[in-house]
A = this chain, B = another copy of it.
Amino acid sequence: MTINLEPIGTVRTARTDLSDDYWGGLESRIELDEAAYGPDALAGITDFSHVEVIFHFDQVPLDKIVAGARHPRGNTDWPKIGIFAQRGKNRPNRLGLTICRVLGVDGATLIVEGLDAVEGTPVVDLKPVMAEFAPRGAVRQPGWVAELMADYWLEESSG
């Protein structure tokens, strides 16, 4: 029962480097597919501070996808973790999901900050962040996450 998605748009950014860290401060344009969408598809989006972007890690080769457990980033200092208990890109269906700051709209293009996707990445959905969909109850996570994320949102120039 395959599900077929059509990209709704494409990421335009200076970044082409797929490496894991230093995504902070990056500004990206999400250009909607002009054959399917006009500016009305984004009407009202700048009343929200943040948007969830669902995208496709299209540059991950199919033979690199992990279906079981692995050390995050291959680092054996961290435990073996199931692919659905980590956010790495080598995952079934290769979907990425990141909350970005809305900077503005330019016609049928959404401008965001903090999208960890490279130039040309296909986008499959945009959803506004609503406080009512935030985690209900306190958030708890294992210790390896803070180590893994230490440099993630730093700016590239600091690398």
Interface residues of A in 85-100 (CB under 8 A from B): 85-87, 91-93, 95, 97-99
Partner of A87, one of B49, B128, B139: B128
Given contacts A5-B5, A44-B79, A69-B40, contact A54 B142 (CB under 8 A): no
Measured in the bound complex, the distance between the Cα atoms of B102 and A138 in whole Å is: 12
- A3-30, CB under 8 A of B: which get 1 and which 0? 1111110000000000000000000000
Task: Decide yes or no whether A82 CB sits under 8 A from chain B.
Answer: yes
How many copies altogether? 2
Please, which residues of chain B bring their CB within 8 A of the CB of A141?
47-49, 128-131
Q: Which A residues are closer than 8 A to B by beta carbons? A: 1-8, 36-38, 40-45, 47-52, 54, 56, 58, 67-69, 79-87, 91-93, 95, 97-99, 101, 110, 114, 122, 124-142, 145-146, 149, 152-153
